[in-house]
Amino acid sequence: MDGGSGGLWPILLLLLAVVLVPTACLLWFMSAAVRNERIAVRQKLSDAYLPQFEATARRVNEHWQRKAAGLSDAAAGAPPAQAFGRLVLDGVCDSAVIYDLSGILRYPRNAEHGVGGPEPDTRRWAAARNLEFARADLAGAAAAYAGIARDSEDANIAARALQAQARCLTRAGQTEAAIEVLAGPAADPSAESLADLAYRDARDPQGRLIVPSAQLMALELMGDPAHPRHAETLERLVARLADYAEPALPPGQRRFLMRRLEEIVPDQPLPLAVAAEDLAAEYLATGPARPAFASLVRTSLDGLWALPSPDRTVVALLRQERIAAEVGSVVAAEMPLTEASVEVLVAGQGDAEPEPFLLVSAGEYLPDWHLALHLAGPDPFSAATNRQIAAYLWTGFLVMAFTALIAAVVGRHLLRQLRLTRLKNDFIATVSHELKTPLSSTRVLVDTLLAGNYRNQEQAAEYLQLIARENERLSRLIDNFLSFSRMERDRRAFELTDLEPAEIVAAAADVVRSRFESHDCRFDVDTAPDLPAVAGDRDALITVVLNLLDNAYKYSDNDRRITLRTYAADGHVCFEVQDNGIGMSKRATRRVFDRFYQVDSSLARSAEGCGLGLSIVKFIVDAHGGTVEARSEPGKGSTFTVRLPATGRASRPT
């Protein structure tokens, strides 16, 4: 379409703008709506979850309130050590510190037990010591200590004497005898030993219980766990260490014995609260103030929290993991969710990752703690919203593409209409202009003849010949106009039959011959023999050749040399019209087949023509499946070649 793409773009761009701008606005509005919807959905969801979540936080708080109250109950009426033992061994807390109501530390505290009775009988003790240390008479000393033990009324003194006896026996190498004194006799039940119940609570001058120390010493002497007395002795000592009932072991002694025991039997897990004792000691070593508030408070030990009972006589020590686990189990019982999970968070330990859907405080008992609700899996709402957005976007794009397509079709149609209107106007103007000249010249000649204004018959015949030529030219002009008009309406239906190229050439040459064969023009027709037939419309193809010949004549000056060549090449038949005329520039050569195109040269201007001839040629040749090309050089001439496919059938020889 000539000039079509040039005019199409502004209209297309306009249509695109008309389509794109509202669509883009629409998309923007849609995405804003989707975002808002997302926020609304989240809000709705959090409204749905929040009451349950807050109720859970209250349950958590109540749990800790109950737990704090339970601390006082556990400690109520029990001696401090026993209270500690209960709390720790029952698993209420990781460790505990016990105060009395006036805030004085009761457990763990070392110097709370009185010393173990009066000074020993100095004379007998002095004698026994003399034997042991000065004389190194260990057997004698052992016997002397045994005597003291036997005769002493005081259990503390007797126990100390037995301890000294065992020491002498050990030093004398009588290990088994020493073990018997320390851990009780295996054979002779009447023999004096520390296993006797009478010595159960005996203490040394520092307040330490003698029997557990003796049992430890016996275990050390036995060495090998396979010793027949080992298991029984160990069992007794462990029972004593785990027993927090009064009279209790001083905490320092208890910790010492536990530690030693762990060294002696490293492979055997002992049911002892070693860690709890250590933790309490470690905590007290930081010199803590008794917590003032009834809530979980951070201690100066890393990850350790203190929970005081309401009366603050008990301060339970809890490790962070334990608190999180306990809170977690309360939450799990309260909110058995599959679509969400709850994270327990401590303040100052980084933010929850990913950002929680809801975050609430765990209550006044856990002031630094929070519960974070996470929805399981990827955020279902954002996924849904994203799907929605994608659907909107796709719809938007499809609508845009569809509208753009419609716009293109409409634009094309509009352009075509525009072009047709323009063509019609050009056509009318050209037709009127072109018809005017031959008509008026014929009228003048006819008027002259009618008026009898001619000299002789010869002149009359000359006028008539002029009239006939003008008439012929008019007919050709009208033929061209009609072909063009039909062509524009695409109504030109060609009747294709097998044609002999030579016949077409001859017919066209006959039409122009009288005109071409004059003193200033040489016209050669060079037709190769045995040309194959072409499928074509006879009249249309004659029009093609005539147009080319006509142009060759029109656009040549004096001394014209025009050749019409016809030959076969590559399965085609070529009709070639060559002239030695004014020629054309390269640019003009490219455009000569456009409708109404005329090279703006004086000769082209002065020659009759309307710029339709070559476009008709191209239309007809295209409809025959052929090609037409122009080669030209300004001032040297032009060659137009039409190539039509040969049908393959040989044409009759001319």
Give residues in contact with ligand ADP (CB under 6 A): 551-552, 554-555, 579, 581-584, 592, 597-599, 604, 609-615, 638
Residue placing its CB nearer to ligand ADP in the complex, 422 or 649 = 422
Residue placing its CB nearer to ligand ADP in the complex, 276 or 614 = 614
Residues 6+ apart with CB under 8 A from 229: 179, 183, 186, 218, 222
Angstrom distance (rounded) from CA 614 to CA 591: 10
Residue 341: strand pairing partners: 374
Residue placing its CB nearer to ligand ADP in the complex, 290 or 469 = 469
Looking at residue 209, the DSSP 8-state letter turns out to be: B
| Least distance CB 409 / ligand ADP (angstroms) | 31
| Least distance CB 638 / ligand ADP (angstroms) | 4
Strands (E) located in 257-327? 297-298, 304-308, 314-319
On whether the CB atoms of residues 212 and 200 are closer than 8 A, the answer is no
User: Closest Cα partner for 506 from 471, 546, 474?
Assistant: 546
Residue placing its CB nearer to ligand ADP in the complex, 213 or 615 = 615
β-strand pairing of 304-308 with 297-298: antiparallel
Token pair for 581: 């005329």
Residue placing its CB nearer to ligand ADP in the complex, 158 or 546 = 546
| Least distance CB 615 / ligand ADP (angstroms) | 6
Q: What share of the chain is helix, strand, coil (3-state, %, to 5)?
A: 55, 15, 30
Write 101-104 long-range contacts (CB < 8 A, 24+).
Answer: 101/311, 101/313, 103/290, 103/312
Residue placing its CB nearer to ligand ADP in the complex, 261 or 548 = 548
On whether the CB atoms of residues 368 and 296 are closer than 8 A, the answer is yes
Angstrom distance (rounded) from CA 210 to CA 160: 7
On whether the CB atoms of residues 132 and 168 are closer than 8 A, the answer is yes
| Least distance CB 29 / ligand ADP (angstroms) | 55
Rg, C-alpha atoms of the chain: 62
Token pair for 510: 């006959």
| Least distance CB 482 / ligand ADP (angstroms) | 15
Sequence-ordered alpha helix ranges (H) in 110-243: 122-129, 138-151, 155-171, 175-183, 210-222, 230-242
Looking at residue 197, the DSSP 8-state letter turns out to be: G
CA 613 to chain centre: 64
Q: Is the peptide bond before 108 cis (omega within 30 degrees of 0)?
A: yes
Strand, coil or helix: what is 609? coil
On whether the CB atoms of residues 340 and 377 are closer than 8 A, the answer is no
- SS3 letters for 428-447? HHHHHHHHHHHHHHHHHHHH
Residue placing its CB nearer to ligand ADP in the complex, 308 or 613 = 613
Residue placing its CB nearer to ligand ADP in the complex, 199 or 640 = 640
| Least distance CB 601 / ligand ADP (angstroms) | 6
Q: Residue 217, Cβ neighbours under 10 Å: how many?
A: 21
On whether the CB atoms of residues 617 and 544 are closer than 8 A, the answer is yes
| Least distance CB 396 / ligand ADP (angstroms) | 49
Strand, coil or helix: what is 20? helix
| Least distance CB 519 / ligand ADP (angstroms) | 21
Residue placing its CB nearer to ligand ADP in the complex, 64 or 553 = 553
| Least distance CB 624 / ligand ADP (angstroms) | 18
Residue placing its CB nearer to ligand ADP in the complex, 180 or 550 = 550
| Least distance CB 592 / ligand ADP (angstroms) | 4
| Least distance CB 605 / ligand ADP (angstroms) | 8
On whether the CB atoms of residues 498 and 649 are closer than 8 A, the answer is yes
| Least distance CB 32 / ligand ADP (angstroms) | 59
Residue placing its CB nearer to ligand ADP in the complex, 12 or 584 = 584
Angstrom distance (rounded) from CA 164 to CA 121: 14
Residue with tokens 């505990």: 96
Residue placing its CB nearer to ligand ADP in the complex, 235 or 608 = 608
| Least distance CB 603 / ligand ADP (angstroms) | 8
| Least distance CB 510 / ligand ADP (angstroms) | 20
Residue placing its CB nearer to ligand ADP in the complex, 150 or 605 = 605
Residue placing its CB nearer to ligand ADP in the complex, 530 or 633 = 633
490 Rama class: left (phi>0) / alpha (psi -120 to 50) / beta: left
